Amino acid sequence: MQTDAASMLSATSGRSRLAPLTELLGRFPIAIVQCMFRLAVASVFLKAGLNKIASWELTVQLFADEYKVPVLAPEIAARMATTFEIGCSLLLVAGLATRLATLPLLGMIMTIQLFVYPSAYAEHLTWASILIFLLTRGAGPWSLDRVVGLEPGDSRRA
């Protein structure tokens, strides 16, 4: 059995060996992560929106029979969901009005989680985490938001 001093020395030695790797990983450009997050979450919602358009009658029927979104008529809920999925996804891909585009998608995720598929929390948590990152950190330097001045320039390396 190791003494406290020996275990502390071992932990310190392990940390010192990991420090160069941690520093190297810390240099990975956040711009790449922001772009990948935008494309990843947009692809999920864009595919869902395009599937809704491909079979509109089935979509409205699903909203009436399975989804049963409270308060809204199935036709209205289907139109809103499709509009937000396609419109916000295209904005995310372009990196235009990114922070604003995350809000309807987060609202949809919350609605689906609470009222439609409460057991799908793993997917919803993943998508919501990405969207919250984009909401709080923005689209990044590789975006139209930066080009049109919606996101400030960053003096640090991108």
According to the 3-state scheme, what is the secondary structure of 62-124? Answer: HHHHHHCCCCCCHHHHHHHHHHHHHHHHHHHHHCCCHHHHHHHHHHHHHHHHHHHCCCCHHHH
Q: Domain limits of the chain?
A: 30-146
Confidence label for 8 from pLDDT (cuts 50, 70 and 90): low
Lowest mean pLDDT, pick from 18-22, 83-87, 119-123, 152-156: 152-156
Mean pLDDT of 77-106: 98
Length of the chain equals: 158
pTM for the full predicted model: 0.86
Lowest mean pLDDT, pick from 8-12, 35-39, 76-80: 8-12
Specify the pLDDT at position 3. Answer: 60
Segment 102-124, tens digit of pLDDT: 999 999 999 999 999 999 999 99
Segment 118-152, tens digit of pLDDT: 999 999 999 999 999 999 999 999 999 999 999 98
